Structure 1
């Protein structure tokens, strides 16, 4: 299947040129059998020759402990036993704090594991049982750390297991708050690279492998995929998307969900919950400024462009995605059923969550807010005069002037089930006791969250085998498939005079890649381009540091997309191309303007996260770059400034159209 088949400008046979990746079958769930039951601290029960966990230590088998019952039956029994405090805690999705001191440890970035004393307090006193992990430990240590968290869950009154989530871990780009650093996980192209390949089977293969890697170390929930459309070229979150058009994005998102959840009927027992995001319209940010920041708190659409952004999520709904995360920004210019949207962020917008998502789309899963939407945004958040710290992070867009407690209440009324990045259940408890929120409404959210835990088997065995995690991590056969995707996802835009493939014992000048990767192909690396036969230049798309005091703005790519004098990679290109034919590979985390690069390059490649080895395999003809651009590449910054941030691929006279790529023009070496 190719999601590009409806386009008249190229054929599916050209799009899929190149060796297919080996498939990893989505294994069918085994027939009903006794699950493995494991406790580390609490007792177990033997009933009719079968093992069960005695989670509340009552000495009898309660319905919620009985794996023979359905997740729904077990959940109904559990919710009846829970206190209001435990229910309110369930609606928090906090951060697992890291060991040590400082701001990074507070949000979970630590080389020493978790602060287990702090975790125990959060679970035991606040009833919180969902957390994001930001650790980047080797697999055995990671599994051991997550097991230690589960033991703290086992200590709680009802023995409720912990759901551990993560930002993406299998790609090249790392931005704190958007992705996680990778250790022991196979490394694949960024999602845009999957968009360049355009094959749902490849995405499903990736997601199935990542599912196994996540579960091996004790991770149960993927805070991904992004179904956002890459419509504003300057937007910093573009690399996490699959491209600009819903006809491309929706099938790839569906394949991602199927692979992670291990099927199309919801999350399987050995699956990983996926949280599709960001509902909806996030990519339409004027100037590309991101809504993690006060200055990027609005997106601009109209009803027609909004419909395209909504359509990108349809694939996820078709395969029963477990969770949806609302977007941060206030959506300007949109009406639903003739009524303008309330000018608040999506996490507070009942029209978007209860109206469009629940009622119109029929979605019945978990709605998890994006992080920190209930926090106060003071002067240090709005207009920092010094670098922001984690305490300045807040995204309460449209409700900045109401109290924190009112934000929790408004989010619940809008339709939220969980609040991301916070650990303050007291406001919910107060609202229920004061009669402002019905406890039955809280029960609805708790049911959805607990059903997912039961579906994944966490109540019966939340533990993993650290030795097995170490053996499983980054298995060579998995990385071989990831490497194949890296090679295939590259987009060949120019190959003048048959410059590829590189053959013979050439002298090569390089910039931005490892000499070892070049030497291993039989070439000699030289220090000066005038001594070379050919040059290879690796560059990143340009950007600017426009908001150095903003926590996210200082970490995100913003501003211009064109190469200018003084840019280090561009200077290397000018120097090299003055002497020898020059090969250029540009990392497109955003759609760079290559107008003054194309005329200097004998070969021009786009990539979306590739190793030096995968690049050299393509350059030497051992593999084919068969990718197609998942968005257009504009010709100038003036064209970028004039386009509509909500509309895909609408800049004037693009240098390369969406779908561009030479494909099979390079002879493969055998």
Structure 2
């Protein structure tokens, strides 16, 4: 590719941690290698004009390839476990299959990640039209890492889970988090966030509660709006130096009976009524108000809901025209990208439907074609596109959609409409003018001291003090501590001795997680998701530690709530009870001893018993009888 006015020498240095800098007026990238500046190569033209020119030049195969959102292979084909991308495979996907959108799951140092993403962009430069790659990621700035939902590591600043941000009640804090995270993303060459979750945490057993903003539609909407504004860089859509956000999962995902998740065949149905459905929809309003770039439909089939008097078709949202076109496009006025969740067009074979210990479900058996199992794969792609999908997540080859188009199942105009949205977003992000980043900047920006300090403060603020024994939290008189699930080095740094017997300790600090079970261990996601009961029982290692800690002069129990926990038999066995949502040992010790203030309020209610959980409506937020702690409770929270 010819790079005019010495632009090739500038590409490596033009990017900054704040995003891509504009080229000089006379500079342009000759993306299609024809020796002249085409309209789509001209930064002085309007985005609409550039998109029109580009789409006119694209072949059918290139359009279909653009509608796939693949996975950058590293370690395995899904991108897990490697230190570098398999660039030979990437070259095939970009050069032969015409893909130009990918998720990265690489967890490496910032410099390496920036260098690897630059290599991907160099492969894209070599294609016929030089269309740059959009690189997306699941959340990277939190403690929890769950395959298919979030990533941890790589030096990014470490903030509370979004539940913790919600517990602060501070939308400005959420916006600042988004600003920090988006600078880190852009510094390493990531331009799209497959987040936030606007799902309501209405079913307390649901494994994906941790990445929500809680159970109140108005609060969720407010926090999601701030998140989108922080990531995208403004209040009315994505800016060139921002990160495009994809709000998910449209809509009703949190209403899963028993909390069984829609990644699994046993969680393929969510049940609501029209009133509860309206609450789940309202939680997304803030995202739309902020001009969110993308929407990701949910996995399950929604039962019990009607729109305009007609029951919803019993197919997953990615295939449901009523949800994607009638409600999302026509009623909500959404004009951006609709990106499907991963693997919705895959088959669900025997290992997916009924795995066993001898034949467990593996990554190659993942498929979520709920409601369209009887269709062929080309028919599934056609149904998704005509329902409103613009791009298919987790698909590395567009052959099935290409077949559907050639069979006349997808109108050409609908294909062009989808491709225009995909390319418009690339232009809005400045990728056609310069997709490269500077590895030196990546090293400086990702996890810089100021960002870490803000994240550390947020970890402390987000903690919810549920019980304090009527006494101020203090470190006074503490010389010896007994610890459970706490790094002893953190105590020693404070000058405390670590006892092996709680009876010899001035303070016992116990960190536990909300209880869970693995009820479906042979399913790929069921083996990794926290399901089942929420109560502590005799014989549980964590519960036994709580009881043992009572022997100390003063005890503190900190429960990490990735889901609501039942603390009825915990609160009478400790002097101080704290709820956390992703926090370091240092942050918890600071709050437990009064060195920092836990200002959080519960973002959902905490039920009093499993009987109450089992009797509540999974579609209705905070619906259990006589909750132990109501939503909004927090002894350490500032009072209005």
TM-based fold match above 0.5: yes
Kindly tell me: are residues 505 and 496 of structure 1, through their superposed partners in 2, closer, same or farther at Cα, counting changes over 3 Å?
A: closer
Select which of 226, 229, 232 maps to 2:203: 232
> Structure 1 435/665 Cα, relative in aligned 2: closer, same or farther at 3 Å?
closer
Q: Choose the corresponding residue for 1:350, options 310, 313, 321.
A: 321
Correspondence 1:388 to 2:364? no
Corresponding residue SS for 2:247? strand
* 1:197 matched residue in structure 2: 168
Note the 1:566-605 alignment, pairs <5 A: 566-605=539-578
CA distance, structure 1, for counterparts of residue 423 and residue 215 of structure 2: 35
For residue 29 of structure 2, the aligned residue among 33, 43, 53 is 53
Alignment root-mean-square deviation, CA = 1.6
Quote the offset at 1:38 in angstroms: 5.1
Q: Output the TM-score relative to the length of structure 1.
A: 0.91
Cα distance in structure 2, aligned partners of 1:247 and 1:482: 25
Secondary structure of 2:95's counterpart equals: helix
1:127 and 1:427 map into 2 onto residues whose CA distance is 14
Q: Which residue of 1 aligns with 2:287?
A: 316
Q: Does 1:217 align with 2:188?
A: yes
Unaligned runs of 5+ in 1: 1-34, 41-46, 100-104
Structure 1 residue 580: Cα displacement: 3.6
The aligned residue for residue 156 of structure 1 is 127
1:330-388 per-residue CA deviation (whole Å, 9 max, x = no partner) reads 00100001100000000000000000000000000000000000000011111111322
The answer for the alignment partner of 2:72 in structure 1 is: 96
Q: 2:116 aligns with which of 145, 151, 166?
A: 145
Report the CA distance between 1:582 and its aligned residue.
Answer: 1.4
Q: Is the 8 A contact 1:168 1:224 kept in 2?
A: yes
Q: Distance in 2 between matches of 1:288 and 1:210?
A: 30
Q: Do residues 450 (structure 1) and 423 (structure 2) align?
A: yes
The corresponding residue for 1:86 is 62
Is 1:484 paired with 2:484?
no
Distance apart, 1:499 and its partner CA:
5.6
CA contact (8 A) 1:37 1:53 kept: no
Aligned to 1:641: 614
Where do 5+ consecutive residues of structure 2 fail to align? 1-6, 13-22
* Among candidates 47, 50, 66, match of residue 42 of structure 2: 66
The one of 442, 449, 459 aligned to 2:432: 459
Q: Is 1:188 the counterpart of 2:182 in the alignment?
A: no
Name the SS for the 1:595 alignment partner.
coil
2: CA distance, partners of 1:524 / 1:74 = 66
**8 Å Cα contact 2:83-2:107 kept in structure 1:** no
Structure 1 equivalent of residue 605 of structure 2:
632
Residues 80 and 509 of structure 1: CA distance in aligned 2, closer, same or farther (over 3 Å): same
Report the more deviating stretch, 500-509 or 584-593.
500-509
**What is the deviation of 1:534?**
2.0
Q: Could you tell me which residue of structure 1 aligns to residue 86 of structure 2?
A: 115
Structure-to-structure mapping, 1:517-666, within 5 angstroms: 517-663=490-636
Farther off after superposition, 510-519 or 333-342: 510-519
CA distance in 2, matches of 1:507, 1:39: 57
CA displacement at 1:183 relative to structure 2: 1.1
CA contact (8 A) 1:38 1:53 kept: no
SS of residue in 2 equivalent to 1:227? coil
CA contact (8 A) 1:493 1:603 kept: yes
Question: 1: CA distance between counterparts of 2:293 and 2:638?
Answer: 42
* Distance change in 2, residues 1:49/1:662 (3 Å): closer
CA distance in 1, matches of 2:24, 2:585: 59
Partner of 2:475: 502
Partner-residue secondary structure (3-state), 1:150 = helix
SS at match of 1:106: coil
- Secondary structure at 2:624's aligned position in 1? coil
How far apart in 1 are the matches of 2:184 and 2:560? 26
Go from structure 1 to structure 2 and tell me whether the alpha carbon gap of 1:547 and 1:112 turns closer, same or farther (over 3 Å shift). Answer: same
Shift of 1:516: 1.6
- What's the counterpart of residue 400 of structure 1? 373
Alpha-carbon deviation of 1:198? 0.9
